[in-house]
Structure 1
Amino acid sequence: MRELTYYIASSLDGFIGDPHTGDGAFFEQLASGEYHRFMFDEFSDTLPTFAREHLGLEGKPLTRFDTVIQGRRSNQVAYDQGVTSPYAHLRQYVASRTLTEYPDPAVELIRDDLVGKVRELKAEEGGLGIYLCGGGDIAGQLIDEIDELIIKTYPFLVGSGIPMASAGFALRQYELSDCRTFDNGAIVATYRKIR
């Protein structure tokens, strides 16, 4: 059975994006040195295709993920720059209640029953994992389907913004399975769902 991994950048106070634009790219200003090398070595599957090409990683085999699910607002960042297939090296899905069609045949639109579609993908035999690429609303909808959290915590307090997961209050327990600290102050922690 395949697993759904929510791989996300967060502030110390649990926010993943600007409250007005939804963009979380400001976190990446700390992506340098040892941290940068670790991210490219361990998580190159999660880089958009244009970044993989720019960094000479386009031929690197996939190691963690072969499928990506994005919310419409997360996808909109690339779409606004004219990129309709941001993760062409992966099987791509965009979840949206408002879009009626998607302009690129390489991307499948999920309009309803997001949880059912994720369960279908998780039940597939073989393959690598499923990368949940934000944002907080889609993570909230899929909170009970998330098997693993990989949280890149950056040493910033931002005060407000898009929360990591917009879900109703309930305790959902995870156990820490890995934690790395870096000289830029970032922490990458991996948590596994306790069944």
Structure 2
Amino acid sequence: MNNAFLVSTGVVALGEIGDKTQLLAVVLAARYHRPGLICLGILIATLANHLLAGAVGLVVADLLNPTTLEWVLGVSFVLMAGWLLIPDKLDEDPKPLRGLGVLSTTIVMFFLAEMGDKTQIATMALAARYDSIAMVVAGSTLGLMLADMPAVYFGAKAATRLPLKLVHGIAAALFAGIGLLSLASAAGLIGA
């Protein structure tokens, strides 16, 4: 199994737990009671969003020389580790989009909510780090679905039964570890 796929899956799955998009998944499930369509909408929105993020990550990787990229990625992953320790919340109860069905509403709302989100930025950084957009997007999408499908099917009960601080701590440790490895590589302390 590809390292980029496994790391992307694990990091995004852990990072998504308690994230605002997971909370949005719970709200959509409670409002529409159509878990299959909601999961399909989340999948479509996530694929589109993470493809965009992965493409940006590859462009950034091409623009920077390898040493600079290692420094940028190292700092980015360490900052992401800190960001994961800050709990997310929905700013407001999302309103249904006028004239759109469950699937279209889910796609639009989820795509927009994911813009600038932790998991989108993680996907961008992972694509730059691993230079494999297909594996990173497949892994990050799977990770997001692994975290959000239970939230859709089991609602708030599933999301609130997890020890969020522990899960976020593990995800933060993974991000910090990747970041520190990148920084050590950039400083010439270890091989790339």
* TM-score (norm. length: structure 1): 0.22
Structure with greater strand share of residues: 1
Q: In terms of Rg, which structure is larger? A: 2
- Flag the structure with higher helix content: 2
Taking CA–CA contacts closer than 8 Å with sequence separation of 6 or more, which of the two structures ends up with the larger relative contact order?
A: 2
